[in-house]
Structure 1
Amino acid sequence: MIKDVTVQINSAVKYKLNGNEFIPKNVDGSKMDTLIYNGRSYVPLRAIADAFKVAVDWDGATSTIILGEREGKGVSLLDLKPRLEDFFYDTEYLVITSDKDALTFHGDTEVVFNFGIDSVSKSKSATKIFVSLEKKFQTLKFYTWTTDNDGKLVIWDTTNKSSIELKRFDIPKNELKEIEVNVGGVDSLLIEFGGYNKTKFVIAEPYLK
């Protein structure tokens, strides 16, 4: 049920977050004023979510606001249409795939994944995956492995055209590694990976919750 109410707008209200000044902002970057209703102060939920780096999204089908992690596995990163970039800019070297041969990890026990990104670039430069999250997700999870002797993987927050390192991983040769990173409050994300002799590097079943 929706009903109309009368509120006041108070632009003089200030905020502090953990002892530091905090300015709630609108989507366009302008200062967000405080609403006063029945003697209480209100700001949009998204402003508070941004302050505490908590994901927030709207499910119109069920009229539900989603805070933090989603139920179940979440959303496939591939559904968000990531942009892939390799030194050679050649899809022969970097592909989104569901090919079981490419997505099978050959260890003491074989593990077969359903979808992922397969990089077989001969470049020593890092391979990059760019994706827009729009601050809707809390956690990124995926599996990875490489045939490189010195595999590296770095997750970056590239919101506002800046680059903030969220987490860095060493990926040992021929070892399956599970990756989990907090991406709450991240608008734009970069996954960067590579090594000295990168012959194969796989990002398998990347999900966002």
Structure 2
Amino acid sequence: MFFKQSKTAKIIFFLVAILVTSVGSAFAAVNLQPIQAFLNRSVTFVVKGERWQPKDASGQPLTAIQYNGSNYLPVRALAEALKVPIDYDSATQTIYIGGKPGVKTPLFAMPIEIDNIYVTQTKDTAETMVNGKQFQQVLKIDQYGDVYFTLDRKYKRLVLDAAVISPGEHDVEFSLYNAASMAGNTAETVLEKHTVSPEDRMKTMIFNVEGLEKIKIHVQSPNLNPYIYARILDTSYFDNGESSATDSPSVK
């Protein structure tokens, strides 16, 4: 009896193996086409003025492939050299260069640098109650302060939710700066600025951060009032959504 069950199992397994092989062969026949190409070891690469050697996931050097007069490189190696996010969806056989659309990275999931004097990160429920709504955590800025985020050019937008709470009575400016080590003089240039008023309750601001490695958000009163009582909320996020004319700030 055991022999018959074992034999039946082997037959079923054999049939499944044939089916999988047949499906794989059919897929290959339709979607894969053999070509004649050459490894072109004479090609060298310079990225942003510096010599660059493409490597695979294990760190082994890669060589350009020449086909029909053009040189080709694995897209992942090139994307990583240019600091462009890349994802692969095996189910749909789709390569996403520049990040998957619609994917959001929460603000507090990002590397954040704060001074912990003028800016503090808190989960205290008494401090995360903002204008009648409870949040999990917030950045608390009662006077003025700077918040730094490391992006590595992975995102296009910062969607920032903020509010001014009681006893704050002044407008508060949120200014975007390029904080990369190579920013040079541009580090002092305001790239974008939005204003939140106490009357706004909670406001969504959209900053264009495409191509930036590191950013600074500077928060202060435009009239240099000493106390502003601003809050940056945990509903804020980074994404790769396309900025457009319809992406105007909204009040919640």
TM-score, length of structure 1 as denominator length: 0.66
- Structure ranking higher in strand proportion: 1
Q: Give the corresponding residue for 1:172.
A: 197
Q: Give the corresponding residue for 2:229.
A: 200
Determine which of 150, 174, 193 is the counterpart of 2:171.
150
- The alpha-carbon deviation at position 189 of structure 1 amounts to 1.1
The number of residues matched between the two structures is 177
- The alpha-carbon deviation at position 154 of structure 1 amounts to 0.5
Q: Give the corresponding residue for 2:214.
A: 188
The question of whether the paired residues in 1 share the 8 Å contact of 2:87 and 2:99 is answered with no
Determine which of 1, 16, 30 is the counterpart of 2:50.
30
- Structure ranking higher in helix proportion: 2
3-state SS of 2:181 partner = helix
CA distance in 1 between partners of 2:136 and 2:103 (Å)? 14
3-state SS of 1:6 partner = strand
Question: In the TM superposition, what are the counterparts of 1:13-92 in structure 2 within 5 Å?
Answer: 24-25=47-48, 30-32=50-52, 35=64, 37-38=66-67, 39-42=69-72, 45-46=78-79, 55-57=84-86, 66-70=96-100, 74-85=104-115, 90=117
Q: Percent identity?
A: 16
1:129 pairs with 2:147: yes
Cα distance change of structure 1 residues 30 and 171 upon mapping to structure 2, 3 Å threshold: same
Let me know the Cα RMSD of the aligned residues: 3.6
Instruction: In structure 2, list runs of 5 or more residues that go unmatched.
Output: 1-36, 54-62, 240-252
CA distance in 1 between partners of 2:121 and 2:230 (Å)? 12
CA distance in 1 between partners of 2:85 and 2:123 (Å)? 30
Determine which of 122, 133, 136 is the counterpart of 1:97.
122
CA distance in 1 between partners of 2:140 and 2:126 (Å)? 11
- The alpha-carbon deviation at position 68 of structure 1 amounts to 3.2
CA distance in 1 between partners of 2:137 and 2:65 (Å)? 49
Cα distance change of structure 1 residues 182 and 68 upon mapping to structure 2, 3 Å threshold: farther
CA distance in 2 between partners of 1:180 and 1:48 (Å)? 28
CA distance in 1 between partners of 2:99 and 2:138 (Å)? 21
Q: Give the corresponding residue for 1:18.
A: none
- The alpha-carbon deviation at position 48 of structure 1 amounts to 9.1
1:6 pairs with 2:44: no
Larger radius of gyration: 2
